[in-house]
Amino acid sequence: MASKYDLTPRMVSFLDRHLVFPLLEFLTLKEVYAFEDLIKAKYDLLSKTNMVDFVTQLYQQIHDTEDIPQEFAVKRENVLAQLEVLQEQAQKVMDVIENPEVIAALRQDKLQNLQFLKESYNGGLEKRSWCLGVERQQTIEC
């Protein structure tokens, strides 16, 4: 009966994954739809993300198996390799912003913060490093 008045199916096409997932979690808790249907919806939603371990668990629940397809293992290795590369790229920035002296010197004004970092670290932090080196399909400016 409650599913008759649920607007989630109409809204999800307009929302990003990170907004849809909590809705699916809520629907699971409220038992508005069949549990199996919601597990499949979560799997479909997250299967193209880097949440490989969670997607693997969902796959195992859907298919009632302990077996893990090879594609999940390969994707997991790729995700972990990508994570390691991104952490290495971000390390230079992390070293600066974790420095207590830098934290004390930073101000609320973003322009002053950037100017302070440029002056103090001689421009050693590239703009790309400020974006944490994350490659995106869309052009993103920091």
79-90 confidence digits (pLDDT tens) = 999 999 999 988
Q: Sign (positive/negative) of CA torsion 123, 125, 127, 130?
A: negative
Mean pLDDT for the chain? 83
**Predicted local distance difference test score (pLDDT) of residue 127:** 52
If one counts the domains in the chain, the total is 2
Domain final position from 20, 44, 63: 63
Residue-wise pLDDT for 32-70, tens only, equals 999 999 999 999 999 999 999 999 999 999 999 999 999
- Whole-structure pTM value: 0.70
Whole-number Å distance between alpha carbons of 36 and 28: 10
86 contacts: CB under 8 Å, gap ≥ 6? 132, 133, 134
- What is the model's pLDDT at position 135? 44
Residues, the chain = 142
Report yes or no: 27 and 8 within 8 Å, Cβ to Cβ: yes
Q: Please tell me whether residues 47 and 96 are part of one structural domain.
A: no
Q: Domain range for residue 121?
A: 73-130
| Token pair recorded at residue 71 | 């594609």
Exposed/middle/buried for residue 54 (C-beta within 10 Å: 0-12, 13-18, 19+): middle
Confidence of residue 99 (pLDDT cuts 50, 70, 90): confident
Q: Is the pLDDT of residue 125 over 90?
A: no
Of the residues 63, 96, 112, which one is the last residue of a structural domain?
Answer: 63
In the chain, what is the straight-line distance between the N-terminal and C-terminal CA atoms, in Å?
A: 47
Is residue 124 predicted with pLDDT exceeding 70? no
Are residues 17 and 51 located together in one domain of the fold?
yes
H helix intervals, 8-69: 8-11, 17-30, 35-46, 52-63
Q: Does 92 lie in the same domain as 43?
A: no
